[in-house]
Amino acid sequence: MSYNPEDYDYSIIIKKIEKFILQKVMESNSNGIVIGLSGGIDSSVCLGLASRSIPKHNILGLIMPIEGITPEEDEIDAIDLAKQFNVEYRIIKLNKISQEYMKKLNKHKIAQGNLLARIRMSILYYHANLLNRIVIGTGDKSEYMLGYFTKFGDGAADIAPIADLFKTQVRILSKKLEISHKITNKKSGPRLWENHNAEDELQMTYEDIDQLLYSLITNNLEEEHLSKQELKFIKLINKRIKDNKHKKELPEICKIN
């Protein structure tokens, strides 16, 4: 059986996630949620779901661009989204903060990108502590399975509402939540360095990725029927899953007793 994101009942999915967010906010005895808004599809969908789950005045969106890396349209889209759902938002420019770190550190593109993700999460948790709120993680299932996130950066959060939905499912959910076509159809990317695009870095489209990940989950992968290109993708996916396994595990404890 092949994967088709259209085969799911998204009204049920929406209700289940709404209930999940409300329940977790109540269980934590918090005053609401803090969410990072990137102008991308995942954070936009999470905000849309949160705004249906809890009172809007209990939601704070943080927009954290860095000039030279964050496209101006992403910042504009994030602001428009916060206004669409009528939630409080704040813009925190990260250039000066990042520059202070780099005065003491050697330059390295990937390490700097991961540092930027961790700076953002630190700021999210600062506001969560300040307001007695929890942080919503915005990663989806495709990213989680591949380990395509920064450990203790965008991979850190208190709850993960869409982490059991593939990227292609999130795109459909975005339409159901009436999020703008501009955001829904935008190329996904962590934007940790200039022109940082997820599908370019992963070397395949999310349509292909999700189909192969689904086949891996359901043990429905018949390699003898795959093309050379598909076999290459499978090899890349398996390597990425293996290399990033540590990201999904708690720190190992040396057992003494």
DSSP string, 78-136: HHHHHHHTT-EEEE---HHHHHHHHTSS---HHHHHHHHHHHHHHHHHHHHHHHT-EEB
Q: Where are the domains of the chain?
A: 5-197
For domain 5-197, give its CATH number from 3.40.50.620, 3.40.50.1220, 1.50.10.20, 3.40.1010.10.
3.40.50.620
Joined tokens for residue 124? 């999210």
Q: Over the stretch 126-156, which tens digit does the pLDDT of each residue have?
A: 999 999 999 999 999 999 999 999 999 999 9
Joined tokens for residue 229? 């290109």
Extract the residue ranges of the chain whose pLDDT is less than 50.
none
B/e letters for 128-150, b = 16+ CB within 10 Å, e = fewer, are: beeeebbbbbbbbbbbbbbbbbb
**Predicted pLDDT of residue 1:** 56
Look at the pTM and tell me if it is higher than 0.85: yes
